[in-house]
Amino acid sequence: DGGITQSPKYLFRKEGQNVTLSCEQNLNHDAMYWYRQDPGQGLRLIYYSQIVNDFQKGDIAEGYSVSREKKESFPLTVTSAQKNPTAFYLCASSTGSYNEQFFGPGTRLTVL
């Protein structure tokens, strides 16, 4: 099956820890995205990548980092510099141009 997967589904982080969220797609899409979803605030863009080995900051990149070493993978690291990381994180991909995005099932991160 073609699709986009995220792991883990639930993640708990202690104060001061860095954690990495996985996102993998086998759709052969060029573009990949990370969003953060908080209640009542919709989706906010953290980082996006239009091509391998290149990525751009979104609207709320502070405290996060990404890499894009392979077309299929776009992991997100939530660093200890992110002061309020508890949220639902969504990864998406698209072919670019005018096409819709495909979303993963999400990772719910909770800071203990």
Partner 1 sequence: AQSVAQPEDQVNVAEGNPLTVKCTYSVSGNPYLFWYVQYPNRGLQFLLKYITGDNLVKGSYGFEAEFNKSQTSFHLKKPSALVSDSALYFCAVRPTSGTYKYIFGTGTRLKVLA
Interacting residue ranges for partner 1, rule: CB under 8 A: 4, 6, 31, 33, 35, 40-43, 45, 48, 50, 56, 58, 88, 90, 92, 94, 96, 98, 100-106, 108
Which residues have C-beta within 8 Å of that of residue 98, sequence separation ≥ 6?
none
**Residue nearer to partner 1 on the CB measure, 67 or 103:** 103
CA atoms of 91 and 75, how far apart (whole Å): 9
**Residue nearer to partner 1 on the CB measure, 31 or 52:** 31
**Residue nearer to partner 1 on the CB measure, 15 or 100:** 100
CA atoms of 54 and 74, how far apart (whole Å): 11
* Shortest spacing between CB 47 and partner 1, in angstroms: 11
Dihedral, 14, 82, 50, 45 alpha carbons, nearest 10: 110
For residue 83, the 8-state DSSP code is S
**Residue nearer to partner 1 on the CB measure, 8 or 96:** 96
CA atoms of 34 and 87, how far apart (whole Å): 12
* Shortest spacing between CB 83 and partner 1, in angstroms: 22
For residue 101, the 8-state DSSP code is P
* Shortest spacing between CB 74 and partner 1, in angstroms: 13
* Shortest spacing between CB 70 and partner 1, in angstroms: 18
